[in-house]
Structure 1
Amino acid sequence: MVTLDRKDLAKYPFLKESQSYIGTISSSLEQYLQSPGGKHAIKEASTTMQCALSFNGRELPPLPDIPPDAESITNIIASYPVSRIIVSCAQDRVLIDRLVRYQSWLVFAFLQDESSDVKRFIRKSIGLPETGTEISVTDYIPVASRMQEERWRLINRVVIRGKVRVAPLEYDEIVRERLRYVMARNLPIKVPSSICELLQPEVDNIKSEWQKHILEEFGKVEESAFPPCMQAILGAIAGQGHLTHMARFAISAFLHNIGMENTRIIELYGNVQNFDLRKTMYQVEHISGRGGTSTEYISPQCATMRTHGICIHPDSLCQKINHPLTYYKQKKREISKKNLKSTSEQKESRQILDKAGKKKSESGGDSSNQIPSRADGGNKDEQGT
């Protein structure tokens, strides 16, 4: 039997024991959120969201300090459900994914120095075997689908009687991705409109920060960095070709995700047969979250594109990524490096030419230096006659 102290409850707020700890702090959620403790929990949740938006998902996040006093720990634990309420009110799948990714990685960071007893307890709490040696195929697939490294592909694993072998050092990673899956499975939750109205300033602030982050992450739209699938769809639009509903959704969401204005996206459809401005405006506004539902969609993953037959002309970079947005970021980075190298080479060439010209000037080879000599010589000839 594992006994969790208050610090453990703050480190792992998804546990039912953590939620039981704060379950009786107020008679209603709305009343609690308006209380001093609730306001602190909202502030903690906002901090969590800020960290989630900037987290890259490739290295351990810094561990937050956990104060020893009961009131601070209560606020930290309460911030976990509050953050889930905020992203549910935002109705944005991207924000949900960012939140659960960060929270699962935070647990992963805490687990690095955790006791074996607590590790086993956490594994059991999220439906995994307590001993880290194997996992059922049905539990493994949702976890491995989020892993990009080849070693996680089912074809590269040892599977015996429906169980996937897992090395002890890999098991914390399994816990992380399983937790990410479990956290996301029940989101968004249904939140009363009165609660969403109360949290609207936080929702608006997070959406605004996310838009700034998108601009910083993607910068100016670079069409030459588009993945082959998106280039093919744009080619079909320009050539008045037939577009499936999924192709329309994919390209509209992709262009919105990288920061293109809705008016520009709508203009692209002008060449499509039977173009309907009102219908196109509705669809694009709906995808971008401005059509009344507040749900902002993200472009489909590569696996979804393949399923719908719109993964067209994949190149070598496509083999290394699993999302068109990832392709775009990497390709744009490559283009920037090439442009920077070209600029550097041009600058170096100019410097070499400048140096050569300077040497020629100093050696007397410049015709501008010879003119006064000839003039002086001419004057001497005139004086001698």
Structure 2
Amino acid sequence: VNEVDFEMEIYSYAIARMIAVAFENDYVLRRYALAEAKGAYEKMREENEETIFEILKEFKIEQADGKIHFSDYLRYAPTWDAKWKLVNRELSNGYLKLNKHEIARILQEAISKKIYHELSYMLAPPEVKKIFGDEINSLKNKISFKKEFKKEKNISDFPPCISSVISSINSGKNVPHVARFTLVAFLNEIGMDEKEILALFSKSPDFNEEKALYQIHHITGKISSTVYVAPKCSTIRTWGFCFPDEKCRGVFHPFMYYRRKK
């Protein structure tokens, strides 16, 4: 890359950040942060291990002999994916051995969180909205319609555990696998079709339509011999996303809450 190209890349990066901030939308900030982090990941895959370890130091991620401390692993690993769950990893004296690409994936998440945190506290200069205002408003409208899922089912009737998962997804956050499973099983149980469920999941930062459809089809019984139902409240409580309200009293299953409110 010559000097002019390098300078243009710096300027375009700064402008892109300001445009993302000008949206004043948490979902856009998370998507932008993820896109930048994914770009960094692709570059890191080509770097040598020494450079990767130096980047780990910059993010204060503890490592020793190519191993990462489990506390940093849990902070940054995409543990909603089964292969990244701690139980599927070899843990020795508090450290996990990862290959270079896996460490780069850890760093991707660290970079995404750092960028999102930085942008969350920034304000776009008035000039940005003046110059790019029409484009920003146009994209805002596209986002609001593209990601909207049908509302024949009244979300206010959903139990707090389900509402919290939907809220996290709508905010562009990744949710753990068990929460996704619970949501799909519940929505299928109340009669929501796969297109509506898929549209909801399309708000996830690293949404993959093929993978999401496979998971939906598996849970709803289209490619398995079992139609899975949402877990009981006691199970959801152990999974850490039970947020009971006064209407949860005497309820032991999410569908029971929904049926009461209907």
TM-score > 0.5 by shorter chain:
yes
Counterpart mapping for 1:32-111 below 5 A: 66=1, 68-69=2-3, 71-111=4-44
Q: 2:103 aligns with which of 158, 162, 171?
A: 171
Displacement of 1:199 in angstroms is 0.4
Cα distance between partner residues in 1 of 2:144 and 2:203: 15
Residues 14-71 of structure 1: CA distance to partner in whole angstroms, max 9, x if unpaired? xxxxxxxxxxxxxxxxxxxxxxxxxxxxxxxxxxxxxxxxxxxxxxxxxxxx4x13x4
Amino acid at match of 2:51: V
1:111–1:190 Cα change, 3 Å: closer
Q: Percent identity?
A: 15
Amino acid at match of 1:313: F
Cα distance between partner residues in 2 of 1:174 and 1:164: 12
Counterpart mapping for 1:155-170 below 5 A: 155-170=87-102
Amino acid at match of 1:83: A
Amino acid at match of 1:233: I
Q: Tell me which residue corresponds to 2:171.
A: 298
Cα distance between partner residues in 1 of 2:200 and 2:90: 30
Residues 184-242 of structure 1: CA distance to partner in whole angstroms, max 9, x if unpaired? 23331233xxx531100325513422533564x558x5568xxxxxx4736x38xxxxx
TM-score normalized by structure 2? 0.56
1:114–1:218 Cα change, 3 Å: same
DSSP-derived class of the 1:114 partner: coil
DSSP-derived class of the 2:119 partner: coil
Q: 2:114 aligns with which of 167, 173, 182?
A: 182
Cα distance between partner residues in 2 of 1:123 and 1:232: 45
Displacement of 1:310 in angstroms is 8.8
Q: 1:143 aligns with which of 69, 76, 79?
A: 76
Q: Tell me which residue corresponds to 1:274.
A: none
Q: Tell me which residue corresponds to 1:153.
A: 85
1:147–1:212 Cα change, 3 Å: farther
Q: Tell me which residue corresponds to 1:233.
A: 155
On the 8 A contact 2:26/2:171 being kept in 1, the answer is: yes
Q: Tell me which residue corresponds to 1:196.
A: 125
On the 8 A contact 1:123/1:175 being kept in 2, the answer is: yes
DSSP-derived class of the 1:135 partner: strand
Cα distance between partner residues in 2 of 1:300 and 1:101: 10
Amino acid at match of 2:126: E
On the 8 A contact 1:90/1:203 being kept in 2, the answer is: no
Residues 327-385 of structure 1: CA distance to partner in whole angstroms, max 9, x if unpaired? 99756xx89xxxxxxxxxxxxxxxxxxxxxxxxxxxxxxxxxxxxxxxxxxxxxxxxxx
Cα distance between partner residues in 1 of 2:72 and 2:172: 26
Cα distance between partner residues in 2 of 1:158 and 1:210: 45
On the 8 A contact 2:30/2:173 being kept in 1, the answer is: no
Cα distance between partner residues in 2 of 1:232 and 1:313: 14
Cα distance between partner residues in 2 of 1:327 and 1:97: 10
Amino acid at match of 2:32: L
Cα distance between partner residues in 1 of 2:65 and 2:29: 28
Q: Tell me which residue corresponds to 1:369.
A: none
On the 8 A contact 1:97/1:184 being kept in 2, the answer is: yes
Displacement of 1:168 in angstroms is 3.8
On the 8 A contact 2:17/2:119 being kept in 1, the answer is: yes
CA RMSD of aligned residues (A): 4.6
On the 8 A contact 1:135/1:163 being kept in 2, the answer is: yes
On the 8 A contact 1:302/1:322 being kept in 2, the answer is: no
On the 8 A contact 2:68/2:97 being kept in 1, the answer is: yes
How many residues are aligned here? Answer: 201
Amino acid at match of 1:325: F
1:125–1:302 Cα change, 3 Å: closer
1:74–1:118 Cα change, 3 Å: same
Q: Which has the larger radius of gyration?
A: 1
Displacement of 1:93 in angstroms is 0.9
Displacement of 1:166 in angstroms is 1.9
1:167–1:210 Cα change, 3 Å: same
Unpaired runs of 5+ residues, structure 1, are 1-65, 225-230, 238-242, 258-296, 336-385
Choose between structure 1 and 2 for higher RCO, CA contacts under 8 A separated by at least 6 residues. 2
Displacement of 1:102 in angstroms is 1.0
TM-score normalized by structure 1? 0.41
Q: Tell me which residue corresponds to 1:112.
A: 45
